[in-house]
Structure 1
Amino acid sequence: MLLKHTLYYFLSRGVPGIVSFLAIAVYTRLLEPGEFGIYSLVLTLVSFCNVVFYQWLRMVLGRNYPAHRDSPDEFLAGVGTLFLLTTAVAGVAVLVAALLTEDATMRQFAAIALAMLVAHAAFDLVLALARAMLKPGLYGLLLGSKSVLAFAAGALLALSGLGAAAPIWGLTVGYALAIVLFGRKLVASMRPGQVARADLSAYLRYGMPLTAAFALSWVISGSDRVILTWLLDEAATGIYASGYDLGFQILTLVLVVVNTAAYPLVVNALERKGEDAARRQLRQNGEAILSLALAGAACLVIIGSPLIELVLAVEYRDGAKSIFLLVVVSSALAGIKSYYFDIAFQLARATHWQVVSVGVAAAVNVVLNLLLIPRFGILGAAWATVAAYAAALIISVLTGRRQFGLMPALPSLLKSAIPISALAALGCWAMLGIAGDATVLALVLGLVGAAIGYLAGALLFNTFGIRSAIWSRLGERMKS
């Protein structure tokens, strides 16, 4: 089941992934580093508001929908009401912040940022419902259409000379049109209705700690850009963001695909089949996340230089290369923590413990950014991010299994993850060496080599049940 759903979500995430790389390549050529820095900063702040105001509601939807699957109308009506109330609060907060700030740039972008925030939040809620309903086809259609529409609109506006506002308006248009074209039925199912007081209390107890946790996670991933802009300038932020997004998004994309498929499966197993089924599903999830995180990080380090040469404009390349290794390590640490070990807190409904790990990491990140950026620039910001994610992962590993005892131990998962990663890295290195120059063909061959090495290791160790699934399918075909 995990393999099947992962393949569905991989296809659905493939188009957005390709579009994201194209967007980085196009925007770093159409925007100056300072403009790209402003765009990155606004995007970061909108993401923060999205987490603070809306993340809890998406998590409530994902965690509780399986229990209401047979009669979801009342539950979804409550979700719709909570979304509208949350949007009203978010709108007032953003407008007040814009009036109070002395930063002219932030005042200039306040209105568009608010429009993007609401469109982003609505789109994410529709996506969360499609995922909870186990509809990967619809999920992929929504995500793919949003990416293509946002990129097309943003690129056209950038060509017209709109500057930093172009990609922001592009994203806003993409979110809105994707909902109108493909998410209307899901929006209609969340037509506002009454929310029982007992349900609201339970949702808030579950969701509010997650809001704090995800907000603190934003501090780890986003505060570096704010501090870079404050201590240095927008150009430094733009160069840092180009290298960070290129390295972080690639590996995160792979891990998000697996988690998107895996989390609903383990929740359904726990709710409908009991602890033994959940334990088996968690082992498969852990094997997939750890092996892909380690293998992906190793292969990205190998192909990093030619990738940067091909994707980024000349003025961004040296800075991106200087931080790429650290960004990849940060991405692997963040993915393992968020998409596997933090699941324990959510399954146990003990989300307040998740706040502890990210709280410590956020403090580490901010302190190190303030200390290291003035001396080392963007390299200092990258080192601070590595240290923060490492601290968060350690705390999550130590506390997670205490809250949800079904989680397999880390050493048992690493027994297969490490050799599989080595085989993937070897395949990537060998094929890239054959190709030689930094070309699209070289990157494709490197990725093909990595995929072959990973698949060979997965089959050898039966990672996430892939060998068993293949033998089972072959057996069914032979019987028929």
Structure 2
Amino acid sequence: MDIVGRKAEIRSSEVEVTDVLRQPALVNQLKRHSLLYFAGRGASGMINFLSISIFARLLAADGYGLFTLVVNGVLLANAILMQWLRIAIVRYLPIYRENRHDLISVTLAIYVLEALVSTIVFIPIICFFYNEKLIIIIMLLILLAQGWFDLSLDLARAGLKPVQYGALLIGKSLLSLLFSVVFIWLGWGVYGALIGQLAGLLIPGGLAYRLQWRGAKLVFQYKLAQQFVAYGFPISIAIFFSSLIIYMDRFLIAWFTNQRSVGLYTAIYDMLSALLLFITQIPTLAGFPLAVHAYQKGDTFGCQQILRETYLISLRYSLPLVGILIGFSHPFVSLMLGSDFVQAHYLLWWLCPALIVYGLVEHYYNRSFWITGASWRLMGVMGTAAWVNGVLNILFIPRYGLVGAAGATLVAYVMAAIISLTLSRRTFPLLSLTPDLSRLLIAFGAMWLVLIVTSPWRGIVPITARAVLGIGVYWISLMILSKRHREKQESTSSEVV
């Protein structure tokens, strides 16, 4: 074929891809579910964000450091003990929709077994650390309650019930905050905050039994359980490695420095996560079950389309938030966490780009392995990143302190992105993110240019004006670039015709 003909074929295929990406059938369903998840996750995220601010002020840096070490220990244990079962539910409930009763019965049986194993594992720990037995018992109870609640959430998610999902999530967040504040006010300190978290899990967990688990029996089906383990456990190991990247630096900070430093680092990180990660997670919560449906029906391109649109939606709204957080880190931390934490505001300069890269890895490239069941490749990606992060933390924290921990996180996620991109091309090739990604980065650059030019502005009103102006420039730039791109596509389409 001559060069002119080849160019025409390429242009024609590009137009076809773009037309499919604009089809309303799947994209509209994705947007509708995303809005519902946004309502649930958004309200819950705002409550969690307020919780961080309130706990940081009530417990101060030292107390907040201990509180987060306990909670993070629970999350790490949950990642290895309970996470794999949740992953399997999301993957197999769409397939076994007609036999849902059998699936939830097996899930219940496995949960009870894991609860017994967890209790047996914790007994010698309680005996060895007898002086801290109360806090360890609370950890165990939170672990079991968190596992049950998360399973119930994912049953609602896999069943495409975003309203039920949001109601449970909001109820848990609100009750946890209210109980924790009351118990802290009663003088229980860190223990009160932890018991409040437990109470906030138990009440919606009981409601979830009526919504999701009624009629389930303790029935163990070996073949179905084997499918769960084969698919979910390697991915759970990968998520455990990902959790290590998030949480291990906090334990190393406590080891190399002190509990106060843990409180400073964790408060900044958790505040950022509450704002940023829920934005990136919402489209994924809505889109991934739809992508699984498309893949199971043999609609490979439809699956690729959903994954691409899902990630781009999350990135489109994340970038302006990142710009504001980096550009106004000092006043933002001072306002939300108080003067005790403002000395660590610079951590946002490192953690914001780290979490953006994490979103690219977790919510796009790694989905190639989730869809196809290539669990061991996913485990290899996150295991390598966790190893790099651990080594760098050990090297950097003693020398650079909290900046070293944040820098190690950024490097680890960049490493994960490179490996995941390479392996995903050999597993389940994903659609290219360009030119949409290029337009987003150009708009973000325009926003940052405005923030730099207006940096001499001081005071509450000028700072607010800077933020509004920067965000406005971002969206206007994106609209102009998108319009030019559409016009170019229409011109290309007419040339091909």
For 1:343, give the aligned amino acid: R
Q: In 2, Cα distance between the equivalents of 1:375 and 1:382? A: 13
Match of 2:197 among 171, 191, 207: 171
Match of 2:467 among 429, 432, 446: 446
1:276 equivalent to 2:304? Answer: no
Partner of 1:61: 89
Q: 1:303 Cα shift?
A: 3.2
Q: In 1, Cα distance between the equivalents of 2:38 and 2:469? A: 16
Contact in 2 for aligned 1:155/1:167 (Cα 8 Å): yes
Q: In 1, Cα distance between the equivalents of 2:212 and 2:385? A: 37
Match of 1:374 among 398, 410, 419: 398
Match of 2:424 among 387, 391, 400: 400
Contact in 2 for aligned 1:78/1:193 (Cα 8 Å): yes
Q: Secondary structure at the match of 2:244?
A: helix
Q: In 2, Cα distance between the equivalents of 1:135 and 1:458? A: 33
1:9 equivalent to 2:37? Answer: yes
The aligned runs of 1:182-197 (5 Å cut-off) are 183-188=209-214, 190-195=216-221, 197=222
Q: 1:54 Cα shift?
A: 0.6
1:330 equivalent to 2:358? Answer: no
Q: Deviations over 1:253-281 (max 9, x none)?
A: 11011211111111112223621321222
Taking only aligned residues, the RMSD between alpha carbons, in angstroms, comes to 2.7
Match of 1:77 among 105, 115, 126: 105
Contact in 2 for aligned 1:295/1:420 (Cα 8 Å): no
Count of residues in correspondence between the two structures? 456
Shift in alpha-carbon separation, 1:454–1:47, aligned structure 2, 3 A: farther
Partner of 1:340: 364
1:203 equivalent to 2:228? Answer: yes
Match of 1:51 among 53, 59, 79: 79
For 1:54, give the aligned amino acid: M
Shift in alpha-carbon separation, 1:120–1:147, aligned structure 2, 3 A: same
Q: In 1, Cα distance between the equivalents of 2:100 and 2:325? A: 43
1:437 equivalent to 2:437? Answer: no
Q: In 1, Cα distance between the equivalents of 2:194 and 2:457? A: 38
Q: 1:78 Cα shift?
A: 1.1
The farther-off stretch of 244-253 and 43-52 is: 244-253
For 2:292, give the aligned amino acid: V
Partner of 1:468: none
When Rg is computed on C-alpha atoms for both structures, the one with the higher figure is 2
Q: In 2, Cα distance between the equivalents of 1:209 and 1:63? A: 14
1:391 equivalent to 2:412? Answer: no
Shift in alpha-carbon separation, 1:119–1:340, aligned structure 2, 3 A: same
> Percent identical across equivalent pairs?
26
Q: 1:91 Cα shift?
A: 1.8
Q: In 1, Cα distance between the equivalents of 2:154 and 2:472? A: 29
Q: In 2, Cα distance between the equivalents of 1:257 and 1:420? A: 22
Q: Secondary structure at the match of 2:204?
A: helix
The farther-off stretch of 19-28 and 91-100 is: 91-100
Partner of 1:287: 312
Contact in 2 for aligned 1:58/1:124 (Cα 8 Å): yes
Q: Secondary structure at the match of 2:99?
A: coil
For 1:199, give the aligned amino acid: L
Contact in 2 for aligned 1:98/1:110 (Cα 8 Å): yes
Partner of 2:440: 417
Partner of 1:131: 157
Q: Secondary structure at the match of 1:67?
A: coil
Q: 1:297 Cα shift?
A: 2.4
Q: 1:180 Cα shift?
A: 2.5
The aligned runs of 1:298-317 (5 Å cut-off) are 298-317=323-342
TM-score (norm 2): 0.85
Q: In 2, Cα distance between the equivalents of 1:454 and 1:43? A: 38
Q: In 1, Cα distance between the equivalents of 2:162 and 2:455? A: 37
Contact in 2 for aligned 1:295/1:425 (Cα 8 Å): no
Q: In 2, Cα distance between the equivalents of 1:14 and 1:443? A: 22
1:216 equivalent to 2:238? Answer: no
Q: Secondary structure at the match of 2:188?
A: coil
Match of 1:109 among 128, 131, 135: 135
Q: In 2, Cα distance between the equivalents of 1:112 and 1:250? A: 28
The farther-off stretch of 298-307 and 75-84 is: 298-307
Contact in 2 for aligned 1:76/1:189 (Cα 8 Å): no
Contact in 2 for aligned 1:291/1:420 (Cα 8 Å): no
The farther-off stretch of 378-387 and 275-284 is: 275-284
Partner of 1:461: 482
Q: 1:393 Cα shift?
A: 1.5
- Listed as ranges, the gaps of 5+ residues in structure 1 are 466-480
Q: In 2, Cα distance between the equivalents of 1:354 and 1:88? A: 29
Partner of 1:478: none
Shift in alpha-carbon separation, 1:377–1:433, aligned structure 2, 3 A: closer
Q: In 1, Cα distance between the equivalents of 2:158 and 2:231? A: 17
Partner of 1:140: 166
Shift in alpha-carbon separation, 1:394–1:164, aligned structure 2, 3 A: same
Q: Deviations over 1:112-154 (max 9, x none)?
A: 0011111111111111011111111111111111111000011
Q: In 2, Cα distance between the equivalents of 1:451 and 1:191? A: 55
